[in-house]
Structure 1
Amino acid sequence: MSTIEKANEKLMAASIASQPKPSVDPSQKLVQTEPVDNVTNQANDGYLKTVEASPPILSLNWEKMRALAFLLPDMGHTLLAEQYRKIKHPLLRKITNNPTGELKNNLIMIASALEGEGKSYTAINLAISIAMELDHTALLIDVDSKKSAISKSLDITPELGLSDYLGSADLEIKDIIYSTDIAKLKIIPSGKADLASTEAATSTKMKQFLSEISDRYPDRVIILDTPPLMASAVAKALAFVAGQVVMVVEAEKTPTTVIEEASQYIENNRFAGFILNKTNLSSSTENLYGNYG
């Protein structure tokens, strides 16, 4: 049995669907009752309080996301939301059923063989879907500094990101984690510096970073949006770090030979399955989902 035939036993599917307008106003801002600066704050009671600066809350462009057919929190009963429920639940079960901690199953790498298969689209939607869970927080990390697709898709312009942290001795992890106006969805953008070298992806600091964010909060699920496997040494290196690797495949376009070759970079115990993207779902959808797990 070939690698692809074996992988078909773990097949997931996702498609694009237009959705209704959100019931939550994305322009709402967080109101801070007491003024603070980056070091101290003189509260109304006269006591001097030390506070920590944190990145500003990012307001995502919901209308742009809706136009691009991204999942949003008000789409709870749509086909798109249901598709991502069926995708995320097996991934979340692996996190729950990993008592020995041999693999960091809450580190989920979203991979693809080639560019343009819908990897970043899938990573964003999966993170939003996980953030809608009662028991989990989603942290979406853009490791593809060449494209920075997460920032572009969500129409955000954060000042700092992962590459800035890796290249600095002064920044802390908290300095690059951004909360958003989607509850329980946090983002670490790619940053301004280039993260295209294998040295950066396999550096001690990168390994410590991934280990710390994986271990610090038990409810946190980390989604890594990485470069294509066939084009990036960074993606190949991260495939040996993530506890679960999901590969996005563009339906009826990506050559089987390319999928076979890219799959060789993923260890069997880390491979979580394929997501067949840009497919026209029909009555066979339930069969596709039924084969996953």
Structure 2
Amino acid sequence: MTQGSLIEQAARVYDFDAYFRASPAALRQADAPAPADDVRPIERAPAPAAGDVMPTLAAIPVEFLAHGGEDEEDWTPPPSDIALIDRTMLAEKGMLVPGAPVGALAEEFRLIKRQLLLTADEVGEGPKGERARTILVGSGKPGEGKTFCAINLAISLAAERDVEILLVDADFAKPDVMASLGLDDSTGLLDVLGDPTIDPESCVVRTDVPQLSLLPAGKRSHADTELLASRRTEQVLDRLLAANPRRIIVFDTPPALAASPASVLALLVGQVMLVVRADRTTEADVREAVQLLDGCEEIALVLNSVSYEPGRGRFGSYYGQEG
């Protein structure tokens, strides 16, 4: 007997149908406008789980780890102002490795980003305008994989031809984006919010992954939520968007049920991607997190940490077939 899609399996666990609205695609087919509190399930679940097969160092050619997919003889060191992302660390953590062969994880995030990009186009036609190019990645509680998903989403989006990605670490209490990429923290978002003389663009860290830049969290402050709620945040956000019309900003935020910054930032972004961990997140957690983040009208769910049965087909396996 078939188990159905991942989101159908999740629906049986969390009873999504009781409080989720129809997806935008279904609403368009019905020629009806989407409700303001629409929550869209995204089908795939990319993060590693017990029994799941994720990328390993042995499976990824060494040249992709050392030089981002370039041959040894063609590789030249990047300029000194370009940060070198540690690809070996990414592989060890089971994350996407830029330039590596397409696998299951890459296919999962291709599906996720496509839905987010389509929604961004729709949101951009409304009052949000340029803010449609902003995505908040969050979770209900710690340990549900939101940073894992934020980094992988940013790497996947950076592979697109027509966009450039700025990944912002907005988890001020426990920033982990820079460390996860093998980089040191530096002046970042909180510093910019607290000091109007700092140009936000001067704090953007360019990386050796084409079309991917980073903005660290900055120096920790006890007034992080208040800084986010200030008019300065809107000015900074608009400045970052205006600096590059191709730019999409992805925010890694603290868990909504553990800290308040996510709910404040949700008021300013175009859409929210809420990570739901299949083996940990309760239905009550999902409901409460959605309520806290409902300042954004577009909330999508990613079901995370689903175990796959050995021998069953999986996205990405097609690329390993011959003929």
TM class, shorter-chain normalised?
Answer: 0.7 to 0.9
TM-score w.r.t. the length of structure 2 is 0.74
Q: Is the 8 A contact 2:120 2:271 kept in 1?
A: no
Q: Which residue of 2 aligns with 1:75?
A: 100
Q: TM-score, normalised by structure 1?
A: 0.82
Q: Are residues 21 and 147 of structure 1, via their aligned partners in 2, closer, same or farther at CA, if it must alter by over 3 Å?
A: farther
1:102 & 1:92 partners in 2: Cα distance? 17
Which has the larger helix fraction?
2
Corresponding residue of 2:8: none
Check whether the contact 1:26–1:59 (CA below 8 A) recurs between aligned residues.
Answer: no
Equivalent residue for 2:114?
89
* 1:18 equivalent in alignment to 2:55: yes
Measured against aligned partners, the alpha-carbon deviations of 1:66-117 in whole angstroms (never above 9, x if no partner) come to 1001111223421111110000001111223345342222100001000110
Corresponding letter in the other structure for 2:46: A
Q: In 2 relative to 1, CA 195–4 (structure 1 residues): closer, same or farther, beyond 3 Å?
A: farther
Are 1:22 and 1:73, in contact at CA under 8 Å, matched by a contact in 2? no
1:10 is displaced (CA, Å) by 4.4
Given the alignment, which residue of 149, 168, 171 partners 2:176?
149
Gaps of 5+ in 2: 1-16, 23-38, 49-53, 69-75, 316-323
Deviation of the 1:168 alpha carbon: 1.9
Q: Partner letter of residue 18 of structure 1?
A: P
Q: 1:268 to 1:160 in 2, by over 3 A?
A: closer
AA in 2 matched with 1:228: P
State how far apart, in whole Å, the 2-side matches of 1:80 and 1:10 are.
15
* 1:184 counterpart residue number: 211
2:42 touches 2:303 (CA, 8 Å); kept in 1? no
Match of 1:63 in 2: 88
Q: CA contact under 8 A between 1:131 and 1:183: conserved in structure 2?
A: yes
Structure 1 gaps of 5+ residues are: 33-55, 287-293
Report the count of equivalent residues: 263
Report if the CA contact (8 A) 1:108-1:245 is conserved: yes
Amino acid at match of 1:29: P
Q: 1:5 to 1:31 in 2, by over 3 A?
A: closer
Matched, 1:221 2:248: yes
Residue 224 and residue 29 in structure 1: after superposition, are their counterparts in 2 closer, same or farther (change >3 A)?
Answer: same
Q: Distance in 2 between matches of 1:141 and 1:184?
A: 14
Report the counterpart of residue 259 of structure 2 in structure 1: 232
Q: How does 1:251-266 map to 2 (within 5 A)?
A: 251-266=278-293
Task: Provide the residue aligned with 1:3 in structure 2.
Answer: 19
- Root-mean-square deviation (CA, aligned residues, Å) is 2.4
Partners of 1:75 and 1:81 within 8 A in 2: no
Cα offset, 1:284, TM superposition: 8.8
Give identity over the alignment, percent. 29
